[in-house]
Amino acid sequence: MKVSDAKIIDLPKICDPRGNLTVVEELKDIPFKIARCYWIYDVPGGESRGGHAHKKLKQLLIALSGSFTVTLDDGTEKKTILLNHPYQGLILETNIWRTLDDFSSGAVCMVLASDIYDPDDYIYDYNEFIEYRKHLDG
Ligand code: TYD
């Protein structure tokens, strides 16, 4: 996947005077089955999350509350995307270096992931990531 392919998707939003509702169904609203859900919260001002790539894992990131930026890097190109609506999501395909920054006060980042936690799926070293991408991209 290239960074230029990354985009924010609009999720179904059911507007209601009692409060709105957004839903995600696997293989319908997102192109993978959901094996795991986790969320990042209480991020102190100025802190950064992420800073790695995944070899096989696909993810959907949603700003359930507040806002944060996601910087994507495919080894050639970088792009920074602001997530600030609970009815939008960013699909992260495989082999993209990502960093999450600029968390607003009270921001909650929910992640729907295509697989259970596997430390061996991570690339934590940026130079290793660049070499891995070169190998993949031929
Ligand atoms: P990590 O994925 O590196 O966090 P970030 O969101 O900043 O990229 O995970 C941070 C720590 O949490 C790491 O020690 C592994 C642990 N962890 C789990 O045990 N299970 C999980 O599902 C996740 C996502 C992380």
Question: Which amino acid, 111?
Answer: V
Q: What is the CATH number of the domain that holds 103?
A: 2.60.120.10
Helix, strand, or coil (residue 101): strand
pTM beyond 0.95: the answer is yes
pLDDT band at 1 (very low <50, low <70, confident <90, very high): confident
Number of domains making up the chain: 1
- Ligand 1 mutation target, pool 36, 37, 38, 48, most atoms within 8 A of CB: 38
Q: Output the CA–CA distances (angstroms, integers) from residue 63 to 18, 43, 126, 130, in the order listed.
A: 21, 13, 26, 28
Which pLDDT tens digit goes with each residue over 93-137?
Answer: 999 999 999 999 999 999 999 999 999 999 999 999 999 999 998
pLDDT value at residue 42: 98
DSSP letter assigned to residue 30: B
- The answer to whether residue 43 scores a pLDDT higher than 90 is yes
Beta carbon of 50 within 6 Å of any ligand 1 atom: yes
Residue 120 tokens read as 């061996």
What residue owns the CA closest to ligand 1's atom 19?
117
Smallest CA-to-CA distance from 59 within 84, 99, 89, 87 is with 89
9 vs 38: CA distance, rounded Å: 19
Q: Which domain holds residue 113?
A: 3-137
